[in-house]
Amino acid sequence: MPCDGVVLLAQSAWTEARLVAPGSAHTLTDGTPAHALDTVAGLTWRIDTSTLALEVNAPASAFVGSTLGPKGPLAVAPRRDPGAMLNYDVSLAHDGRGGPLTTAASLEAVAFGSFGHVVASGLVRDDGRRRSFTRLDTYWRYDMPEDMQTLVLGDTVGTGGGWSRPVRYGGIRWGRDFGMRPGFVTMPQLSLAGQAALPSTVDVMVNNALRSSQPVAPGPFDLPGVPVVTGAGEVSLVVRDLLGRETVVRQSYYASPRLLTPGLVDFSAEAGWLRTGYGLDSHYGDAFAAGTVRAGLTPSLTGEARIEVQPDRRAAGVDVATLLGKWGVGRAALAASSGSSQGRREQGQLLQLGVERSTATAGGTLQYEYATRGFQPFGEATGHASAARRTRESWLASVGGPVLGQLTGALSYVQQSRWDGERVASLGLFLNAPLPAGASIGLSLSKRLGGDGAWSAGVNLMLPLDNGVHTAARVDRQSDGRMVGSAAAALNPPAGNGLGWRVEASTQASQRVRGGLQVNTGSAELAADAVANAQGQVAVRAGARGTVGVMASVPFAARPVGEGSFAMVEVEGVAGVPVMRSNQV
């Protein structure tokens, strides 16, 4: 209502129109709080006396801001239905040269429920002369998906961090597992902002591909957590109003999984006894304790610290990863160790440097490592020979992408030297070009630098046929100078139920002809292979992989579950209903 030449609007009208009310307030005769329109910068108004209507024109900045983005996942606690299952991988083989029939089976028994899950696995072998059983892993694991944490007691694999290496051991591990929450993004995400003067639609394009589209009310808006692909790219924010007018804002970015979102922490605490001869025996070695903490410090900087303690060894180090503007990501690590080997005290240092860049069509990396003679790697076998074989210096450089027109290629260089004086270096080249009818031709070349200077090369021609069949012909020049040629045809098995096969003929004496068949069913994967050599001897192998078990008192048989998750679907009173996952039965 007008008041002394000033138009006042009740607070409820400001809220309904989504306008930002100024700080100063007036009071209407009925006690209702109100604000003057004249106090808003850029806002104009007009009263139509014929209709007694108030017309207000306001800039986008005068409206209340909004935050756009996908809705977060529902916090539903997972059910822990009790059950048990057996993962199996069994095979029969005969060498075709009069030897005995050999059998082998990899078995993993799992019991699960509200207590977590208990796992015991092993290998059974029968080579026709003796039978043996080798225990692999025995452990209890409890997952905490709400906190994305895991506790393991028993055999497990540690995390090596950025500069060390993972080891198999028996003991305890408590750590973070981001994989428990599908779709959870650990690397820093982009946040965009814009404004709309009218009700509009906001499209988000990542590398010219539409990622999301949603309506927005008039006013400023924020769009946090824009999903992007890793590497260098460009995000376009397209605001389209009711009149069809478009405003486009573009922003370049570089995203890398080496970086963590600020405030996000990844960690692992480990202690136990190192495994020795895994797969051959079930022995344990030295005791140890280790801890790793990795945290996002800023959107462009992530830091990591790790410590390792053993009876005769101590080691600690740090690792940092940082964005190099919008160009790429760099990494540096520094570690030191001290201990004793063969009764001699040792101290050493390790330096690692790296830089990498990735785009939608190309990429490259450069890595360097140097370790002094006294630096003891984690889990190193004892003995003077192991110490002499320690890596002294290594280089790795690779680059790949478009070369000319549709021709793509990759070039790599690897060099490594050891403290015993051995040095190896090699150069690799790969080129690929498309041909008519969906065919392609590839060239590969590898050469050892120094020493004997041996080299190898290959030419590969691929031609897809109808119904998903692929054919290939290849000629290779091996490092010893021999020429080998082969021709093959294959049909890959589908992700669901179905059949796959492969046949190949080669000039190589050990495998002149080979063929294989794989059948995927709802309850198992079946495979058979045969190889014939130049003497006419045929080696055969047959195998089956799958899982059998019971869950919620219902027995089931399925293709291999392994360490992955699975679900049981029951359609009560209806038979023959197909159950699909990712559009596959």
Average pLDDT of the residues in 16-23 = 79
- Please check the confidence at residue 270 and state whether its pLDDT lies above 60: yes
Q: What pLDDT, on the 0 to 100 scale, is given for residue 398?
A: 97
Q: Cα(190)–Cα(252) distance, rounded to whole angstroms? A: 10
H/E stretch holding 384? helix 384-388
Q: What pLDDT, on the 0 to 100 scale, is given for residue 6?
A: 72
Task: Dig out the tokens for 468 from the structure.
Answer: 């998903």
Among 289, 281, 70, 278, CA closest to 184:
70
When pLDDT is cut at 50, 70 and 90, the band that residue 4 belongs to is low
Give me the count of residues in the chain: 585
Measured in whole angstroms, the distance separating CA 405 from the mean position of its chain's CA atoms is 31
Domains of the chain, with CATH numbers?
Answer: 2-64 (no CATH), 190-255 (2.60.40.3110)
Q: Cα(217)–Cα(19) distance, rounded to whole angstroms? A: 11
Q: Which residues pair with 84 in a beta bridge?
A: 111, 550
Average pLDDT of the residues in 382-407 = 87
Q: What pLDDT, on the 0 to 100 scale, is given for residue 261?
A: 94
Beta strand residue intervals within 96-189, DSSP E: 102-113, 116-126, 131-144, 149-157, 168-176
**Higher-scoring residue by pLDDT: 42, 514:** 514
Q: Of the ranges 43-57, 82-96, 213-227, 527-541, which one carries the lowest mean pLDDT score?
A: 43-57
- Please check the confidence at residue 314 and state whether its pLDDT lies above 70: yes
Looking at every residue in the chain, the average pLDDT score rounds to 89
Task: Dig out the tokens for 549 from the structure.
Answer: 């078990």
Q: Is the dihedral of CA 388, 393, 395, 396 positive or negative?
A: positive
- Please check the confidence at residue 260 and state whether its pLDDT lies above 90: yes
The pLDDT tens digits of the residues spanning 29-52 come to: 777 788 887 777 878 878 877 777
Task: Dig out the tokens for 492 from the structure.
Answer: 């890959």
The pLDDT tens digits of the residues spanning 415-440 come to: 999 998 899 999 999 999 999 999 99
Q: Of the ranges 105-114, 192-201, 466-475, 489-498, which one carries the lowest mean pLDDT score?
A: 192-201
Q: What pLDDT, on the 0 to 100 scale, is given for residue 504?
A: 96
The pLDDT tens digits of the residues spanning 372-389 come to: 999 999 988 766 667 778
The 10 Å CB-count burial string (b at 16+, else e) for 70-100 is eeeeeeeeeeeeebebebbbebbbbebeeee
Q: Which residues contact 159 (CB under 8 A, 6 or more apart)?
A: 166, 175, 268, 270, 292
Q: Cα(180)–Cα(329) distance, rounded to whole angstroms? A: 27
pTM above 0.75, yes or no: yes
When pLDDT is cut at 50, 70 and 90, the band that residue 180 belongs to is confident
Q: Which residues contact 181 (CB under 8 A, 6 or more apart)?
A: 73, 145, 148
The pLDDT tens digits of the residues spanning 65-113 come to: 777 765 555 455 667 789 999 999 999 999 888 888 999 999 999 999 9
Write the DSSP symbol of residue 437.
Answer: G
Among 54, 49, 45, 9, CA closest to 28:
9
When pLDDT is cut at 50, 70 and 90, the band that residue 209 belongs to is confident
Q: What pLDDT, on the 0 to 100 scale, is given for residue 218?
A: 85
When pLDDT is cut at 50, 70 and 90, the band that residue 245 belongs to is confident
- Ordered DSSP codes for 234-283: EEEEEEEETT--EEEEEEEEEE-TTS--BT-EEEEEEEEEEEESBTTB-E
Q: Which residues contact 515 (CB under 8 A, 6 or more apart)?
A: 501, 502, 503, 504, 529, 530
